[in-house]
Homo-oligomer: A and B are copies of this chain.
Amino acid sequence: MATGVTHLFVPGPTNVPDVVRRAMNVPMQDHRAPDFPDLVNGLLADLRTLLRCRTGRVFLYPSSGSGAWEAAITNTLRPGDRVLMSRFGQFSHLWVDMAERLGLDVVCVDVEWGAGVPVDEYERQLAAEPDIKAVFVTHNETATGVTSDVAAVRRAMDAAGSDALLFVDGVSSIASIDFRQDEWGVDLAVTGSQKGLMLPPGLSILGVSDKALAASAVAGMKRCYFSFEDMIATNDLGYFPYTPPVPLLHGLRASLDLLFDEGLDAVFDRHHHLAEGVRRGVAALGLELCATAPEWYSDTVSAIRVPEGVDGVQVCRIAYDRYRTSFGGGLARLAGHVFRIGHLGDLNEVSCLAALAAAEMALADAGADVAFGVGVAAAQEYYCSAHPAAERSVELSYAAPR
C-alpha cells in the first residue's frame, strides 16, 4: 500500500522528530558570520554534557560516523601501534578492518556473534602485552543488538595496569544508552548524528579526552581533513576549518534541547522501556534474539532470528513492499538469518506495537508459523499501565541496576 507513512524501524537513520526537521529547514547562512559562534559554542558545550565529559574536547566532523572512527585513530596512534580489538558483528568487524588498513597492528579477539566485548580476555591480553597502545570497544553492536560493558573494560584496563587509550564506538548507544566518558575513562568516543541524536546522517561527533589530545600532539598518522589541529584552531574561535553542514548544526541544537528537556536518564529509561516491550513481544512469538544472554540485550536494536526455513531477507522485503515498514536486515554472516527492529530515537509504545504487528504479518507472509497478535499482546501487557503485571515489571525494570 503506497499511502501513509513508511514505518521506519531501522537502527539508523532513525526517525527525525518534526521539531528537528523544522529546525533544519533554514535559509542558508554564512558560516563565517559574526554571530555564527553563538551556535557553535553552544553545541560544543552541550555535547560535553551529552557525553558526560567535563574535560577534553568534542569535535564535529562533516562525515558519517566512520569518519570519526578514522579521526580517532589517525590523530592519536602511529602506524604499527599494537591495539586490542574484538569482533562480534559487522560494525566491530569494519572497525577492525579500518584499523588494519590504516596500519595498526591489531590483536583481534573474535567472539561469537551475539555476545559482546570479552572483558576477561581483554584483561588477560592487556596484562600479557603491556605495549598495547589502544583498546577498542564497540559499545553497541548494531548488527547483532549487543551492548557491551564499557565500565568493565575500564576496570579491566586498570586492573591490568594498562595506560592504553580507550576507544569507544558509541554510534548506536550514545544519547540512547547510558554513556559516561569521564567516569569510564573513555579517551575517544565516537558517535553519529543519525541514531540517538535523531538527525539525518552527515555529522559525526568525537569526544576526546585530555590524554588523547596530548597523544595527538606527539603521535598520529598523516591526516588533514580529520586533523584535530585545524579543528582546534578554528573551534576556539567558534568556527570550523571548512564549511560545516549548517542545517545539521541547527538540527543538533534542536535535538540536544529535546534530550535535555526530557533528561538523559529519562531518555535511557525510555529506551529500555520500549526495548523491553519489543523483547517480550519477540519472546511471545517464540523467536530468539541474536543476543545470547540478557546481559548483552541492546536497548536500541533487537536482532531477531527468523525461524528455520524462513528467509530473513524476505521478511524485510515483504515488510517494506507490502506493509510499508522498514526493518534492518541481517548483515554479513547474519544475512537471511535475522531481521532487526531499531527501537531507538523518536518512538513511543504505539510505534513499537506497530513494528511488532508489521513483523508478525511479514513473518507470516514469509512462511513463518506466527500467531497473529501474540507478540503485540505481550508488549501491550508490558506497556499498558492498567495491567498489574506490567506495572510491576515497569517498576522492577526501572529499579534494577542497568
User: Residue on B with the closest CB to A14?
Assistant: B28
The yes or no answer to A307 lying at the interface (CB within 8 A) is no
How many angstroms from the CA of A7 to the CA of B349 in the assembled complex?
A: 11
Q: Is the CB of A365 within 8 A of B348?
A: no
Q: Is the CB of A32 within 8 A of B329?
A: yes
The yes or no answer to A76 lying at the interface (CB within 8 A) is no
Bitwise, A232-254 to B at CB < 8 A (1) or not (0) is 00000000011111111000000
How many angstroms from the CA of A358 to the CA of B348 in the assembled complex?
A: 11
The yes or no answer to A360 lying at the interface (CB within 8 A) is yes
The yes or no answer to A396 lying at the interface (CB within 8 A) is no
Known contacts A25-B25, A63-B63, A326-B33; A4/B346 CB under 8 A: yes
Interface residues of A in 332-381 (CB under 8 A from B): 346-351, 353-354, 357-358, 360-361, 364-367, 371-378, 380-381
Report B-chain residues with C-beta under 8 Å of the C-beta of A33: 320, 326
The yes or no answer to A202 lying at the interface (CB within 8 A) is yes
Copies per complex of this chain: 4
How many angstroms from the CA of A68 to the CA of B140 in the assembled complex?
A: 30
Known contacts A2-B262, A4-B346, A351-B5; A381/B372 CB under 8 A: yes
The yes or no answer to A134 lying at the interface (CB within 8 A) is no
Report B-chain residues with C-beta under 8 Å of the C-beta of A7: 350-351
Q: Is the CB of A243 within 8 A of B357?
A: no
Minimum CB–CB distance from A320 to chain B (whole Å) comes to 6
How many angstroms from the CA of A364 to the CA of B7 in the assembled complex?
A: 25
How many angstroms from the CA of A136 to the CA of B131 in the assembled complex?
A: 42
Q: Which of B3, B70, B227, B380 contacts A360 (CB 8 A)?
A: B380
Report B-chain residues with C-beta under 8 Å of the C-beta of A373: 372-378, 380
- Can you sample 5 A-B contacts with CB below 8 Å? A18-B26, A202-B245, A353-B376, A360-B380, A366-B386
